[in-house]
Chain A
Amino acid sequence: GQQLNQSPQSMFIQEGEDVSMNCTSSSIFNTWLWYKQDPGEGPVLLIALYKAGELTSNGRLTAQFGITRKDSFLNISASIPSDVGIYFCAGRTYYGQNFVFGPGTRLSVLP
């Protein structure tokens, strides 16, 4: 099955820095979801996007639904130690029954 491309694969940043990551697809999606997963835990939904161009925030997190409908972006501002984890995207076409997932971006925050 299709999987999404997600970049970067991993990143190391200093506490207080901003973070950007993105997800791309070969298909046009009508839904993009962003998740955070801690080790040994289930993914937690951060932001859901349903419209091309949509920009949605959740605290220090902001995500955008790309205009082409084939990509999405997640930004984290002023990173803190608890931001450490794996962030991954998921997308679905309008008539698709299932989501496809990116492999994740592993974020490490250095104090």
Chain B
Amino acid sequence: DGGITQSPKYLFRKEGQNVTLSCEQNLNHDAMYWYRQDPGQGLRLIYYSQIVNDFQKGDIAEGYSVSREKKESFPLTVTSAQKNPTAFYLCASSIRGSGTGELFFGEGSRLTVL
């Protein structure tokens, strides 16, 4: 089935550790996105990528890093520099990065810092 797969679904991290969240899509979409969701707030954009080997910072990129070496993969690393990393992280993709087009989400990864 076509879709977006995020892993792991739950992740616990000690302070000072980097962690990487995986996002894979088989929808042949060009654009991919990472969002952070906190209770009572709208989704906030961390990073996005319109094409392989290119990505742009979103509104809250500090403390995060990404790569886009393959069209179907867009992993997110939460570094130790991120001050408040406990959150629900959502990966999304769309057929293109502007104009019309729908945005589809993965099932999310919940990161908890101990």
Contact = CB atoms under 8 A, between A and B. Distances in A.
A76 interface: no
How many A residues touch the partner, as a band? 20 to 34
B105 A42 contact: yes
B101 A97 contact: no
Given A3-B42, A104-B42, A98 B108 contact: no
A88 B6 CA distance: 21
A12 interface: no
A48 B102 contact: yes
Interface in B50-67: 50, 56, 58-59
Given A33-B103, A97-B48, A104-B42, A43 B90 contact: yes
B17 interface: no
How many B residues touch the partner, as a band? 20 to 34
B101 A41 contact: no
Interface in B17-61: 31, 33, 40-45, 48, 50, 56, 58-59
B98 A33 contact: no
A31 B108 CA distance: 24
Contacts of A98: 33, 45, 48, 58, 97
Contacts of A59: none
A99 B103 contact: yes
Interface of B: 4, 6, 31, 33, 40-45, 48, 50, 56, 58-59, 88, 90, 97-108, 110
7 contacts: A42-B108, A43-B90, A88-B43, A90-B103, A98-B48, A98-B97, A100-B42
